[in-house]
Structure 1
Amino acid sequence: MTGFHADPAALDTLARQLADTAGEYAAAAPDLDVGDLGPPAVSGALAALAVEWSGRLRDVHDDFAASAESVRAAAKAYRTADADAADRLGRTDD
């Protein structure tokens, strides 16, 4: 044995936390609508900044969502490997 141990339940918890964080970033992006803030130059500059930051927030959301999916896949792979190993140990050679 290598001493390596994976905890699929802990990975599931991490995946949920990552997904929740992704959701928080997704919810924040629409809040950046600046509306009319006075002179067109000011409103235009703030609108451009809001568009840039909305894009960055979407990118962060996508990164967290992809990480959550990767962690879920790892948990599933570990569960499958554990089930396969348990099945092999339960077999007898006749």
Structure 2
Amino acid sequence: MSGKAAGSAVTPAIVADVLDLPVDTVLQPETSAIGAAILGRALVEPQSTLADLAAAMKTPVRRIEPDDGRQVGARLLEGYVKEFRHG
């Protein structure tokens, strides 16, 4: 995940919980600039593949794991929605 959403502490956690998968967020906020730098480097290093250049210029990531407590939250939300609809 990249962009503004990746910088949030909440959004990646919600995505990880909903998908029940870990989410890697890019810590570099200027991902477009990194992409442009990789393409620029490809022009001066035509012998290198884009995959190799991207791997060499990889930015740090933060991994967000799904939260085991999400089932509790899901049950509470389900109960809330049920009460809201019928009450």
TM range (shorter): 0.3 to 0.5
TM-score, normalised to structure 1's length?
Answer: 0.31
**Structure with the largest fraction of strand:** 2
TM-score, normalised to structure 2's length?
Answer: 0.32
Higher Cα Rg: structure 1 or 2? 1
Q: Which has the higher contact order (CA 8 A, sep 6+)?
A: 1
